[in-house]
Amino acid sequence: MKLSEKSQLCSLSPMRKFTPYAMAAEAAGKKIYKLNIGQPDIETPPEFFEAVRGFSQKVLAYANSQGTEFMLDAVVDYYHRIGVDYSKEDILITTGGSEALQILFLCILDPGSEVIVPEPFYSSYNTFIKASGGVIRPMATIPEEDYNYAKPEALEALINEKTRAIAIINPHNPTGNVLTRDELRSIADVAKKHDLYLICDEVYREFVYDTDDVLCAGSMRDVDENVVVIDSVSKRFSACGARIGMLISRNKALMAEALKFCQGRLCTTTLEQVGAAALYRVGPEYFEKVRDEYRLRRDLCYAKLSAIPGVVCAKPMGAFYVMAKLPIDNADTFMKWMLTDFEDHGETVMCSPAAGFYATPGRGTNEIRIAYVLKEEDLSRALDLLALGIERYNNR
Amino acid sequence: MKLSEKSQLCSLSPMRKFTPYAMAAEAAGKKIYKLNIGQPDIETPPEFFEAVRGFSQKVLAYANSQGTEFMLDAVVDYYHRIGVDYSKEDILITTGGSEALQILFLCILDPGSEVIVPEPFYSSYNTFIKASGGVIRPMATIPEEDYNYAKPEALEALINEKTRAIAIINPHNPTGNVLTRDELRSIADVAKKHDLYLICDEVYREFVYDTDDVLCAGSMRDVDENVVVIDSVSKRFSACGARIGMLISRNKALMAEALKFCQGRLCTTTLEQVGAAALYRVGPEYFEKVRDEYRLRRDLCYAKLSAIPGVVCAKPMGAFYVMAKLPIDNADTFMKWMLTDFEDHGETVMCSPAAGFYATPGRGTNEIRIAYVLKEEDLSRALDLLALGIERYNNR
């Protein structure tokens, strides 16, 4: 029984592949501080659950393939409020930002097509791009430069006849890098010059901690044909389990193509769109409060990490992740050991080994990604456990 | 800006491509009887909504990539009750049967790989197979033989070195064909002999009207490595909008591969799994009642269709669709005309033109698929409108 080449090129998720070990550890009574997945402990706004409970139709019917009218309206309104002018025709509601990326790559990649992606990058890009037969052309970034990738010449040097797109995540998962307005503009100019799609994953848009000098890619109206925005309610409203995302572009040919795949899979969940539309009614005070909380966690996380002997990391400017190089041989071995062999007072910590966030073989093997998604007290304990784990692992 | 070859090979859904015309007609005050989509008017069991309303967690968190434990338990229990022995490891919960098919084809198809599919077939197979670079090798069936495709020699004649799978839908969408136990066995023998996956889409399992001589593919234990079952709560519980499906197989290598894609897209909706698990607690009396209702509609639909001069159709044995050849030039033109130009007392009817259910060019151009998903009175009126429409269309 044959398996496909593309699926054999894919890997389990670095965030999720140790789940079986975690479940075994938990079953044995161990408490695990989970910093491996971007699953915040921040409460989902109650508006979501209220709207869902208020759903009174007797038949849970299919939604429209492009998304329900009320959900599309909610997204258009949200963008208007942040100064970006989209119409409903520019938006397709998807099953998480994940499906938006899957559909997009199906639309634009042929076997061997290349996508330029600054690395490290959110690991699922690997799966989505390979599933479409595409290849990631990584652009290396380093912590010493805050993982900056706004280098037009370096990006241009990676372009060849197979290049279809430049994909950026802003604010960045997993590095926390945030582009200034000028930096984003400089990258858009490269995409425009070379007639490439500019994929802008902005799911962490509201989580920027030290500056207001940021720009939504949808504001740059001279690159309407190039820009594709990936968005989601998962992080914005701490509603990861809703699986509501969106593919947004003013490129009509692309959106017509994407609708084929949307119709093929019929629709996104009806009830979750009811809940998600209600989320967009929460006001700016919600974002301020959440941003303050994450800023606090960011500061704590960075301070404690930096204090561990031998750790190298850059202070993240946005999102809720930090990459860290650890003074260990191999992060995969280490993180598995932390689940199976380590404990302190019955507790341990789970992070994501970072090799899966790189496309270049050999990079990231002694790095981890930490999601600072737990409240201060838990985060502090988790980082102490990490420090203790590193020490014991190296003396084992 | 380039678009991919595979996406350009795909088409809009024959069930959904006329939605813009339908919305315009409705906006103009026209009432449309919708027989185009398998969206039943049967009420979703209230257990779904009760379970969802009872969800009391404050954070709507990600689920496990393979599905929540309680959802997997519910599915295992359901299969035990119908005499099929699956364990949780054999099951991946997906976003509808649609995503189960998408993931499956990603796992087993390389560019140019072939899947043998009896035609007509559920049109989304086109999109899912092409998205993976695969090709449909159709096996023609005809209404005069009740669309029967249990012909081992004919199936074998289509096998070549590129063939990876035989995909069957049982009970069948759109023809209503149902395989006897012996017929299913004869097809399984072909798959076994040639080392092919046997993809069995059994989402209409409970909707069989004239016989008990049916078999779940999962019961044939000598073909554990070959059989992949596609399942869903959409039709079974009239819960199409929940988007909860499943990929089921005892082929461990395949399931390990599929988990990569499941982890890539993170998970299926958390809340809908809470609701869907509750659906599996409804008893056999629910299925009996629903089956009786569909049988009545089937009889009515077939009787009224057969009475229209020039219509050719076969009496469906299961599912809730019937294919019909109409005495018209082109079903696409006709169905669009029914939305834009036809009305009787402010009403019209919408069906699916059937060319999209065929892979062979030219087949199905004067056929439609009717989903008998409306209550008797509405269905009767809808079929009268269809008859009147055909008459007026031909005299226009």
Give me the CATH number covering residue B325.
3.90.1150.10
A229: domain CATH number is 3.40.640.10
CB A59 within 8 A of CB B45: no
By the CB < 8 Å criterion, does B257 face chain A?
Answer: yes
By the CB < 8 Å criterion, does A291 face chain B?
Answer: no
Closest residue in chain B to residue A258, using alpha carbons only:
B7
Q: How far apart are CA B76 and CA B89, in angstroms?
A: 10
- Put simply, the answer to whether B40 touches A60 (Cβ < 8 Å) is no
Number of domains in chain B: 2
pLDDT at B258 over 90: yes
Chain A, window 133-162: residues with a beta carbon less than 8 angstroms from a chain B beta carbon: 133
CB B13 within 8 A of CB B356: yes
- Put simply, the answer to whether B241 touches A6 (Cβ < 8 Å) is no
By the CB < 8 Å criterion, does A357 face chain B?
Answer: no
Quick one: A58 and A143 in the same domain? yes
Quick one: B201 and B305 in the same domain? no
Write down the mean pLDDT value for chain A. Answer: 96
Query: B373 to chain A: which residues are within 8 Å by CB?
Result: none
Domain C-terminal end among B279, B296, B325 = B279
ipTM for the predicted complex: 0.95
**What's the pLDDT score for residue B284?**
86
- Put simply, the answer to whether A243 touches B267 (Cβ < 8 Å) is yes
> What domain range includes position B369?
5-43+285-394
CB atoms within 10 A of CB B193: 12
**What's the pLDDT score for residue A107?**
98
Reported residue count of chain B is: 396
Structure tokens at B171: 């009970």
Quick one: B269 and B369 in the same domain? no
pLDDT one-digit tens code per residue, B117-143: 999 999 999 999 999 999 999 999 998
Structure tokens at A91: 């938006």
Instruction: Give the DSSP letter of residue B19.
Output: H
Quick one: A73 and A36 in the same domain? no
Instruction: Name the H helices within B148-222.
Output: 152-157, 181-193
Q: Residue A350: is it exposed, middle or buried by C-beta count within 10 angstroms (0-12/13-18/19+)? A: buried
Write down the mean pLDDT value for chain B. Answer: 96
Output the pTM of the full model. 0.96
Confidence of residue A361 (pLDDT cuts 50, 70, 90): very high
- Put simply, the answer to whether B131 touches A261 (Cβ < 8 Å) is yes
Confidence of residue A324 (pLDDT cuts 50, 70, 90): very high
By the CB < 8 Å criterion, does A12 face chain B?
Answer: yes
Structure tokens at B292: 């009786």
Quick one: A17 and A75 in the same domain? no
By the CB < 8 Å criterion, does B396 face chain A?
Answer: no
Quick one: average pLDDT of B94-108? 98
Confidence of residue B21 (pLDDT cuts 50, 70, 90): very high
pLDDT at B2 over 90: yes
Cα atoms in the Cβ-side hemisphere of radius 13 Å centred on B230: 27
Q: Which long-range contacts (CB under 8 A, 24 or more apart) does B378-383 make?
A: B378/B33, B378/B41, B379/B33, B379/B35, B379/B297, B379/B300, B379/B301, B380/B300, B380/B304, B381/B33, B381/B347, B382/B33, B382/B35, B382/B349, B383/B300, B383/B301, B383/B304, B383/B305, B383/B308, B383/B349
pLDDT at B298 over 90: yes
Q: The dihedral of CA A36, A367, A359, A92: what is its sign?
A: positive
Closest residue in chain B to residue A198, using alpha carbons only:
B1
Quick one: average pLDDT of A369-380? 96
Q: What percent of chain B clears pLDDT 70, i.e. is strictly above it?
A: 100
pLDDT at A347 over 90: yes
Quick one: B180 and B57 in the same domain? yes
pLDDT at B366 over 90: yes
pLDDT at B14 over 90: no
**What's the pLDDT score for residue B207?**
96
Quick one: B252 and B381 in the same domain? no
Quick one: A179 and A228 in the same domain? yes
pLDDT one-digit tens code per residue, A237-292: 999 999 999 999 999 999 999 999 999 999 999 999 999 999 998 988 999 999 99
* Least trusted range by pLDDT, from A56-60, A324-328, B15-19: B15-19
pLDDT at A14 over 90: no
> Token pair 């009207």 is at which residue?
B209
Quick one: A96 and A117 in the same domain? yes
Structure tokens at B39: 């969206």
Quick one: B303 and B345 in the same domain? yes
CB B18 within 8 A of CB A214: no
pLDDT one-digit tens code per residue, A45-76: 999 999 999 999 999 999 999 999 999 999 99
Neighbour order of strands in the sheet with A352-353:
A312-313, A321-325, A367-371, A352-353
Domain C-terminal end among B240, B263, B279 = B279
By the CB < 8 Å criterion, does A6 face chain B?
Answer: yes
Quick one: A143 and A292 in the same domain? no
**Residue B27 vs residues A74, A201, B340: alpha-carbon distances, Å:** 21, 35, 12
Structure tokens at A311: 């750790």
Domain C-terminal end among A279, A295, A330 = A279
Nearest to A96 by CA among A268, A253, A305, A285: A268
Chain A, window 217-256: residues with a beta carbon less than 8 angstroms from a chain B beta carbon: 225-226, 238-243, 251, 253-254
Quick one: B28 and B73 in the same domain? no
